[in-house]
Amino acid sequence: MVRRTAEKLEVVLRFVRANLREQQAIWRLVAAAGAAGLAIASVLVALAGPWDSGRRTAERDQATAADVRRDADTGDGERVAGTVPGVQPVLVPLDGEGAEPTAAVVERVLRPLLRDPALGKDVAAAVIDLSSGESLYAERAGTSRAPASTIKIITAVAALDALGPDHRLATTVRWDEERKSVVLVGGGDPTLTADDLDDLAMDTARALADQGLTAEEVAYDVSLYPREQRHPIGVNDNIAVITPLQLNEGRLDDSTRGPAPRADNPAADAATAFAAALADAGGISAEAAEGRDPARRTAPEDAEELAVHRSAPTSSLVERMLVNSDNDLAEALARHTAIASDQPADFRGASAAFNGRLDALGLPMDGARLVDASGLDREGRVTADLLTRALAVAADPERPELRAALTGLPVAGFSGTLSERYADGETGTEGAGLVRAKTGTLTGVNSLAGTVATGEGRVLAFAFLASETTDARAAEAALDEAATALAALAG
């Protein structure tokens, strides 16, 4: 136990040291931004800790405090404050710029590592310097590969671009006067919990009592999406039926992340749970609720809103999606991206919305085939060039709304899907606390894409896409070693 605690402490210290180097580099970049073109500027300062279960506590605390604020003009409850704390100077600027590693050096370091037999044949890879935008390594960088979960970087950028960092997903309760019915309207929030439904039921009961209304039944509305869909992989513990109404992602156990058995009809189950909570709150008589399953029905357009529950802001949802590699949340964000882009909220609509958004951001779309938002579909294709350029756009100081696509990346040896990698005795140990990256794993597919700070404080974006792998653990170790080698440049 003492040894493991010491190992974790060393990881944290590496993470802090990396952030200090980044912050020094950032202030240099701010001064040079006009000449540099693409620059990370102050964006990556926000990546500093402290962390709590994979999320920066400063963002969590600010998001909690801002929940009570409402837009005075519209009264719609949308966040009016930023979700990321304003950047404050923490170090004095350094004179000059840290040395940018040359392409020749990067190639000499990376090429033999990416020839590791564990990575199969023809690994696609790209590395760019985020301050200059210069390509430092490109091997089959424009060749399409299955991304697995690294596609969530694309999902993050597209969703933040479409929705903004402060938008929240609303689950509402409406009053159907004609049927004397309370209608639970799904808002496409897969993070809805039992406690949220209890609160929503209490608010609904209070609203009914205040207006002297008596509910005779409970119904539910899933019309936000044109259809409920299963992912093409079929029934699978990695993702529930995609529906705008679900309780804890349709999980049938107490888990909040990772694979779990899922409900056959998440929307109906959520509505049943709400009806029970509403009866407990006195919003409907037990007799009216007993023995009657909630009906599936679209609420009338003029139905009065009785109560509303709002999710965490998009920036926090994106962070959760990236840290936990949350497939359900990825597909939900994709559908909201589609709605914001005037596309139908299904797989095809999300794909069209993604393509339009990314193209408008100037990202290289040649060779990309975006068929889902989670990376579970093996038919999806991206390029290493697209992933690194997406990270660069998220780092652009002119686009602070995209910042969560960086802050949500798991930290090697510390958080999310990288918490158990880069451990003592493992390949790439020295990258712990220094590498921030999204993992990707399917049978025969292993990928890693993210950012890393060099010893000189240069921040690089990288993407490694391997296919035809036969040993996932060995492939992960090889990818981790390659990312660690970038951290060691000019160390």
* Mean pLDDT of the chain, nearest integer: 83
Beta carbons of 389 and 463 less than 8 angstroms apart: no
pLDDT of residue 6 exceeding 70, the answer is: no
Asked whether the whole model's pTM tops 0.85, one would answer no
Q: Which of 131, 132, 149, 316 is catalytic?
A: 149
Q: Is residue 112 very low, low, confident or very high in pLDDT (cuts 50, 70, 90)?
A: very high
Q: Is residue 194 very low, low, confident or very high in pLDDT (cuts 50, 70, 90)?
A: very high
pLDDT of residue 446: 97
Give the amino acid at 128.
I
Give the amino acid at 162.
A
Q: Which of 131, 132, 144, 152 is catalytic?
A: 152
Question: For 250-319, where are the E strands, in sequence order?
Answer: 295-296, 304-310
Q: What is the pLDDT of residues 438-458, one digit of tens each?
A: 999 999 999 999 999 887 788
* Whether 467 is catalytic: no
Separation of alpha carbons 201 and 469, rounded Å? 50
Q: Is residue 288 very low, low, confident or very high in pLDDT (cuts 50, 70, 90)?
A: confident
Bridge-based pairing state of the strands 304-310 and 170-176? antiparallel
Separation of alpha carbons 353 and 347, rounded Å? 10
Q: Which of 131, 181, 311, 325 is catalytic?
A: 325
Beta carbons of 315 and 83 less than 8 angstroms apart: yes
pLDDT of residue 41 exceeding 50, the answer is: no
- Structure tokens that stand for 121 in this block: 């044949």
Beta carbons of 249 and 261 less than 8 angstroms apart: no
- The region of weakest confidence among 116-125, 160-169, 214-223, 282-291 is 282-291
What percent of the chain shows pLDDT beyond 90? Answer: 70
Q: In what order do the strands lie in the sheet with 445-453?
A: 135-139, 124-129, 459-467, 445-453, 435-442
* Whether 325 is catalytic: yes
Q: How many CB atoms lie within 10 A of CB 213?
A: 15
> Which residues face 236 on adjacent strands?
239
- The region of weakest confidence among 78-82, 266-270, 453-457 is 78-82
pLDDT of residue 286: 73
Separation of alpha carbons 171 and 278, rounded Å? 15
Give mean pLDDT, residues 71-98.
34
Give the amino acid at 54.
G
pLDDT of residue 14: 54
Which parts of 294-445 fold into alpha helices (H)?
314-324, 327-340, 347-360, 384-395, 404-407
pLDDT of residue 425: 67
pLDDT of residue 422: 87
pLDDT of residue 81 exceeding 60, the answer is: no
pLDDT of residue 73: 40
Separation of alpha carbons 40 and 433, rounded Å? 19
Q: Is residue 99 very low, low, confident or very high in pLDDT (cuts 50, 70, 90)?
A: confident
Q: Is residue 7 very low, low, confident or very high in pLDDT (cuts 50, 70, 90)?
A: low
User: Which of the 8 DSSP states describes residue 64?
Assistant: H
Bridge-based pairing state of the strands 445-453 and 435-442? antiparallel
Q: Is residue 8 very low, low, confident or very high in pLDDT (cuts 50, 70, 90)?
A: low
| Radius of gyration in angstroms for the set of CA atoms belonging to the chain, rounded to a whole number | 24
Separation of alpha carbons 349 and 332, rounded Å? 12
